[in-house]
Structure 1
Amino acid sequence: MTSAPAAQASQAPAARTSGTPRHVLVTGGGTGIGRAIAARFASRGDTVTVTGRRAAPLEAAAKETGAEPVVCDHTDPEQLAALLERLPERVGVLVNNAGGQTDFGAPDEDGEAGEGGASGLASYARRFRANLEANLITAALTTHALTDRLAEGGAVIHLGSIAADKGNGAYGAAKAGLAAWNVGLARELGVRGITANVVSPGYIAETEFFGDALTGERRNQLVADTALKRAGVPEDVAETVAFLASEGGRHITGQVIAVNGGAHSTR
């Protein structure tokens, strides 16, 4: 008689053969973490497409990694539809990396966000929605657009943030929403053997995240908050993403994986 565990195992989708190239889409792949992720997948022989809103960083990333660059604003459904025409019929890995803290350097056209008048409320609403668009809606739209193309046994990985746990206004709310939304997505895609997870970085140096807003004092505090007493680097995140998309990550789904050097712990 076949045991229950054996019967269940026979129904599970087969993992991809080790070394079999896949097509990988990395959104926001022109700089920083996205670029490191693209390089990591390209180094193992996968075919990679990197997207972003700026052509120059994408072209530079393409020269470095061999990825195909495609200019695409992932908040725009029409641009996403055009992107589909540049992708193959099967995408093995989707990395939703596009996003960022949109409040940094944002002009305040209608008064201070803290004002209670109509102009202040309009400014606050615009800023809040911008973070939701950049960090949550982009991932939802892109995943929805590619759902039918995701290969069985593939992986979807979103880039979250420590801000979802430690709090950081609209940006933190957007990343927390991303993690909550991913729980349902994991169940939806799981019947096809596709995993869906969130990688949540802490402070990662060598990125454009802070722009000119990071002071030396703030950087030192972010490093001091870690248990390892060092800043993360894009490759730290890239290695975690690559693992979740590997055979070793086939039974990990619906999770948030922290890459923060111990700055925020889970039990």
Structure 2
Amino acid sequence: MSRTVVISGGGTGIGRATADVFARAGDRVVLVGRRSDVLKRTADELADALARHPGDDGPRGTGTGEVVTIAADVAETHGARHVRDVVSERFGRVDVLVNSAGGNAALGSPAGDGDAVEQAAEHWVGNFRSNVLTAVLLTEALRDLLTAPGGRVVFVSSIAAYRGSGSGSYGASKAALHPYMYDLAASLGPTGITVNAVAPGYVADTEFFRGQLAPERERTLIDQTLNGRAATPHDIARTMHWLASPDSGHVTAQIVQVNGGAERGR
């Protein structure tokens, strides 16, 4: 049976790859994001790819999934409620929720904009909104729609939650998801819903670094892995697809490291 899969940050990067994997498996995918034009373009491209190459790389290879979009800023309560209202009215349930929205506010700030205190406030507040509120507010808005038993919630954390991020604010915002994830897993566990997270390292072909990643820094990040390569968005997406599968029904309150062993350091 086709599932209803809600993916925040679904227009680009890891979220887009995750949408592709679930849609190719025959699920109905609901892309959520702030930019309606990006969401529409992604939905159209995914639908076209499914029509031209049904089943390519799909876990079940059906290629029959539906892709729909909801434009909303889920760092705001009204945005999260809007997603809930649309999903409730149109689909009535959420089988899988993937919280993929996020980013590093420190990477988008002009150098020298304000004094050190103002910059710190901008980075910490921005990263809390982007990485914590987007996940928490959307999850709380949709939790009563989660299928029980069998529902799945997956968060995207980061290797930065373990190793730092250079400025502190991004890694701290990702680490803040962990206790929330543990508490949510404990609360929803008796209903048969699992809650987990993945912690990627460096993932190529995303908007995360906004074109600011120097070649030498990229080489350093790759050299920290044990298998000598960057992750692809589909590496992360396929792990989340497994966490959302029936096969992972006894896996909950876990953080799966998907970073080529870089979390251990070398």
Offset from partner CA, 1:74-110 (integer Å, 9 cap, x none): 1111122122222122100000000111111214686
Matches within 5 A, 1:1-267: 20-66=1-47, 67-87=67-87, 88-107=91-110, 111-113=114-116, 121-152=117-148, 153-168=150-165, 169-265=168-264
SS in 2 for 1:208: coil
Report the Cα distance in structure 2 between the residues aligned to 1:172 and 1:223, rounded to whole angstroms: 19
- The structure with more radius of gyration: 1
The separation in 1 between residues aligned to 2:212 and 2:157, in whole angstroms, is 20
Q: Describe the SS at the equivalent of 2:228.
A: coil
SS in 2 for 1:104: helix
Q: State the distance in 1 between where 2:79 and 2:187 align.
A: 25
- Bigger Cα displacement from structure 2, 124-133 vs 208-217: 124-133
Distance, in Å, in 2 between the alignment partners of 1:59 and 1:193 is: 34
Q: Take 1:24 and 1:157, find their aligned partners in 2: how far apart are those partners?
A: 11
- Displacement, 1:56? 2.2
Residue deviations 1:130-175 (CA, integer Å, cap 9, x gap): 1011101111111100010000111000000000000121110011
Amino acid at match of 1:77: T
1 CA distance for matches of 2:112 and 2:69?
33
C-alpha deviation, 1:187, in angstroms: 0.4
Task: Give CA-to-partner distance per residue, 1:207-249, whole Å, 9 cap, x none.
Answer: 0000121001111111111111011000000100000000111
Quick one: distance in 2 between partners of 1:68 and 1:109?
A: 41
Unmatched segments (≥5 aa) in structure 2: 48-66
Could you tell me which amino acid in structure 2 is paired with residue 158 of structure 1?
Answer: F
> What does residue 62 of structure 2 align with?
none
| Deviation per residue, 1:153-209 (Å, 9 max, x gap) | 110000000000001211100111101211101001111110000111000001000
**Does the CA-based 8 Å contact 1:30-1:61 persist in structure 2?**
yes
Shift of 1:65: 2.5
Work out the percentage of aligned pairs sharing the same amino acid. Answer: 43
Letter of the 1:127 partner, please give it: H
Greater mean deviation of Cα atoms: 55-64 or 238-247? 55-64
The whole-number CA distance in structure 1 between the counterparts of 2:119 and 2:263 is 31
Tell me which amino acid in the other structure corresponds to 1:99: G
User: In structure 2, the residue corresponding to 1:232 is in which secondary structure?
Assistant: coil
Aligned-partner residue type, residue 208 of structure 1:
E
TM-score by length of 1: 0.87
Structure 1 spans left out of the alignment, 5+ residues: 1-19, 114-120
Q: Within 2, Cα distance between the matches of 1:247 and 1:123?
A: 45
Distance 1:73 1:227 in 2: 37
Q: Does the CA-based 8 Å contact 1:98-1:138 persist in structure 2?
A: yes
Aligned length: 240
Aligned-partner Cα distance in 1 for 2:179–2:230: 27
Does the CA contact (< 8 Å) of 1:197 and 1:256 recur in 2? yes
Runs of 4+ in 1 over 3 A off after TM superposition: 107-110
